[in-house]
Amino acid sequence: RPRVLSGIQPTADSFHLGNYLGALRQWVAMQDTHEAFYCVVDLHAITVEQDPKQLRRRTRVSAAQLLALGIDPARSTLFVQSHVPEHAQLGWVMQCLAGFGEASRMTQFKDKSARQAADRVSVGLFTYPILQAADILVYRANEVPVGEDQRQHLELTRDLAQRFNSRYGKTFVLPEAYIVKDTAKIYDLQDPTSKMSKSVPAGVVELLDEPKASAKKIRSAVTDLEREIRYDTEKKPGISNLLVIYSALSGRAISELEQAYEGKGYGDLKKDLAEVVTDFVTPVREKVRAYLDDPAELDKILLVGAERAREVASRTLEAVYKRIGFLPPA
Ligand code: AQP
Encode pLDDT of 104-135 as tens digits. 999 999 999 998 888 899 999 999 999 999 99
Pocket of ligand 1 (CB under 6 A): 8-9, 11, 18-19, 22-23, 146-147, 149-150, 185-186, 195-199
Share of the chain above pLDDT 90, in %: 95
112 carries an active-site annotation: yes
Cβ atoms of residues 86 and 310 within 8 Å: yes
Predicted TM-score of the model (pTM)? 0.96
Report which of 43, 145, 156 is spatially closest to residue 107, judged by C-alpha positions: 156
DSSP secondary structure string for all residues of 290-319? HHHH-HHHHHHHHHHHHHHHHHHHHHHHHH
Tell me which of 53, 110, 181, 198 is the catalytic residue.
Answer: 198
198 carries an active-site annotation: yes
Report which of 68, 129, 60, 2 is spatially closest to residue 284, judged by C-alpha positions: 68
271 carries an active-site annotation: no
- The protein residue with its alpha carbon nearest to ligand 1, atom 12, reads 19
In a 3-state reduction of DSSP, which class is residue 13? coil
CA-to-CA dists, residue 22 to 11, 150, 321, angstroms? 17, 10, 35
Share of the chain above pLDDT 70, in %: 100
